[in-house]
A and B are shown apart, each in its own frame.
Chain A
Amino acid sequence: AQKVTQTQTSISVVEKTTVTMDCVYETRDSSYFLFWYKQTASGEIVFLIRQDSYKKENATVGHYSLNFQKPKSSIGLIITATQIEDSAVYFCAMRNDSGYNKLTFGKGTVLLVSP
């Protein structure tokens, strides 16, 4: 069975700094897909970025980037130049290459960005 672990319960940073959130996963599959979503205070869940396991290059979208370390089963999320509105709960998720998009989520990391 798949498992996703986010060890950081919460992180506080000052705006305009860089923050890294950790995520490790467990799977027996050779091909899989990793995602980061954020959940805002209103409850909205927003897709941020994705990494396919067969891609060696780290994904980057806007001020989000990933640190994919396949041998360590690790997919860290890096947010550069943080803004107040980045305050949210960040969820790491994965799915294998079969099935129909059944995502396994981590418990989430609360990010608080202060002025």
Chain B
Amino acid sequence: GPKVLQIPSHQIIDMGQMVTLNCDPVSNHLYFYWYKQILGQQMEFLVNFYNGKVMEKSKLFKDQFSVERPDGSYFTLKIQPTALEDSAVYFCASSSGSGNTLYFGEGSRLIVV
């Protein structure tokens, strides 16, 4: 099926530092998403993004989080500064339409120490 690529697959970072997670969505998709999965639990919605704007975000999307997709390149999730509770796997997803099926990447495992 359609592939969403995520870079990096793993990252260990000191608390308080900044991290950027990158996502290369499916080529003709227009809607982009980030989900967070804490070890052993279900994925939870963070944010969705369309036409250069955040359309909806959850309570998990703290003020320290930001997303952007400059000039059609990677869709990024930036956390600045990071906190211990940000340790999780972050999944990027994309869809061709707002109601169409989501396709997920393989996740970026973030460990904040």
**Among A43, A46, A103, which residue has its beta carbon within 8 angstroms of that of B89?**
A43
Interface residue tally for chain A (C-beta within 8 Å): 22
| In the bound complex, CA of A33 to CA of B99 (Å) | 9
The residue of chain B having its C-beta at the shortest distance from the C-beta of A99 within the complex is B56
B100 cross-chain contacts in A, Cβ below 8 A? 101
A99 cross-chain contacts in B, Cβ below 8 A? 55-56, 98
Does B33 belong to the interface (CB within 8 Å)? yes
A47 touches B42 (CB 8 A): no
B 94-109 contacts with A by CB, 8 A: 95, 98-104, 106-107, 109
A102 touches B106 (CB 8 A): no
Does A37 belong to the interface (CB within 8 Å)? yes
Q: How far is the CB of A64 from chain B (nearest CB, A)?
A: 13
Does B31 belong to the interface (CB within 8 Å)? yes
A47 touches B44 (CB 8 A): no
Chain B interface extent, by class = 20 to 34
B103 cross-chain contacts in A, Cβ below 8 A? 47
**Among B45, B56, B91, B101, which residue has its beta carbon within 8 angstroms of that of A45?**
B91
Does B70 belong to the interface (CB within 8 Å)? no
B48 touches A47 (CB 8 A): no
Given contact pairs A46-B1, A101-B31, A101-B98, A91 touches B50 in the complex (Cβ within 8 A) = no
**Among B41, B45, B58, which residue has its beta carbon within 8 angstroms of that of A107?**
B41
A107 cross-chain contacts in B, Cβ below 8 A? 41-42
Q: How far is the CB of B36 from chain A (nearest CB, A)?
A: 11
Q: Which B residues are closer than 8 A to A by beta carbons?
A: 1, 31, 33, 35, 41-45, 48, 50, 55-56, 58, 89, 91, 95, 98-104, 106-107, 109
Can you give 19 contacting A-B residue pairs, CB < 8 Å?
Answer: A42-B106, A44-B107, A45-B43, A91-B42, A91-B43, A97-B99, A100-B48, A100-B50, A101-B31, A101-B33, A101-B99, A101-B100, A101-B102, A102-B48, A103-B35, A103-B102, A104-B45, A105-B42, A107-B41
